[in-house]
Amino acid sequence: MSERREPRPSDLVWVRQPLQARSQATLTRLLDAAETLLERNAFDALSVQAICKEARSSVGAFYTRFSDKASLLHLLHERWCHEARETAAIALHPERWRDQPLGDVVNAVVGFVVAEYRTRRGLRKEMARRNGLDEAFRKRSVDVAAFTAQRLGDLLEARRGEMTHADPRLAAQVCHRILFSVLDQHAIYGDDGPAGMALDDDALGSELGLALLAYLTHPASP
């Protein structure tokens, strides 16, 4: 019998959309270029010329596909939302974690999400800002959050015997809000955070995992 191996964040992968047809290659490069530049600059500071240069494309090609920068940002967000739903469906499927204890599952999922935020901090920061300004952005983000929380609820429902929390569906909603609210704040303020204490990814992931697991397995009320 093979030895059980604890899951690691590296076991999970972000689902990217398939490579586009050649006719869509320029569009994909423009989206990728904007996302790359967001790691160094706020979106409002980006110029169409800078995006085109990063994409190795022309301004004419940009305006063939987009009316303005805002249109590009909306399509970039739509792409992210599609990938996020696909990723959640795979990463949170109960069968994926069938032989793993709840603590290992929580730590692996939290570690994966923390790493994804690090990889795409610029986009995450811009998304958090736009969600408060743009109703279309907010609706897409809410739809993804609801889908992810539902999948997390499926996972926790399957682990009911390892939890003291009486309502896995409610617990999934609260865990989702805790995890993503903290990480949105981390993306906005940076590693030092608003309180001035630096937290690297390992420390942040470890502490979040402890907090969520304690919430799920807290002693039942008398």
pLDDT at residue 188 tops 90? no
At 50, list the tokens: 């800078």
Task: Give the integer Cα–Cα distance in Å for 183 and 1.
Answer: 39
Residue pointed to by tokens 């992210």: 80
Q: Which long-range contacts (CB under 8 A, 24 or more apart) does 183-189 make?
A: 183/113, 183/114, 183/117, 183/124, 184/124, 184/128, 186/117, 187/117, 187/121, 187/124, 187/125, 187/128, 188/125, 188/128, 188/129
pLDDT at 2: 42
Q: Is the alpha carbon torsion for 148, 150, 133, 61 positive or negative?
A: positive
pLDDT at residue 166 tops 90? yes
Mean pLDDT for the stretch of residues 15-43: 82
Per-residue pLDDT reduced to its tens digit, 69-117: 999 999 999 999 999 999 999 999 999 998 899 999 999 999 999 999 9
pLDDT at 1: 42
Mean pLDDT for the stretch of residues 183-189: 89
Q: What is the DSSP letter of 9?
A: G
pLDDT at 194: 74
At 14, list the tokens: 């972000």
Range of lowest pLDDT (22-31, 73-82, 110-119, 204-213):
22-31
pLDDT at residue 214 tops 60? yes
Which of 188, 8, 32, 203 is CA-nearest to residue 97?
A: 8
Mean pLDDT for the stretch of residues 143-161: 97
Find all residues with CB under 8 Å of 218, minimum gap 6, and list them. 164, 165
Q: What is the pLDDT confidence band of residue 4, given thresholds at 50, 70 and 90?
A: very low
Task: Give the integer Cα–Cα distance in Å for 124 and 141.
Answer: 11
pLDDT at residue 22 tops 70? no
Write the DSSP assignment of 28-52 as a string of letters.
HHHHHHHHHHHTTS-GGG--HHHHH
Q: Where do the CATH 1.10.357 domains begin and end in the chain?
A: 73-216
Mean pLDDT for the stretch of residues 45-49: 96
Q: Where do the CATH 1.10.10.60 domains begin and end in the chain?
A: 18-66
Q: What is the pLDDT confidence band of residue 197, given thresholds at 50, 70 and 90?
A: confident
- Fold held by 18-66: Arc Repressor Mutant, subunit A (1.10.10)
Mean pLDDT for the stretch of residues 173-180: 97
For 203, other C-beta atoms within 10 Å of its C-beta total: 13
Mean pLDDT for the stretch of residues 144-165: 96
CATH architecture of the domain 73-216 equals Orthogonal Bundle (1.10)
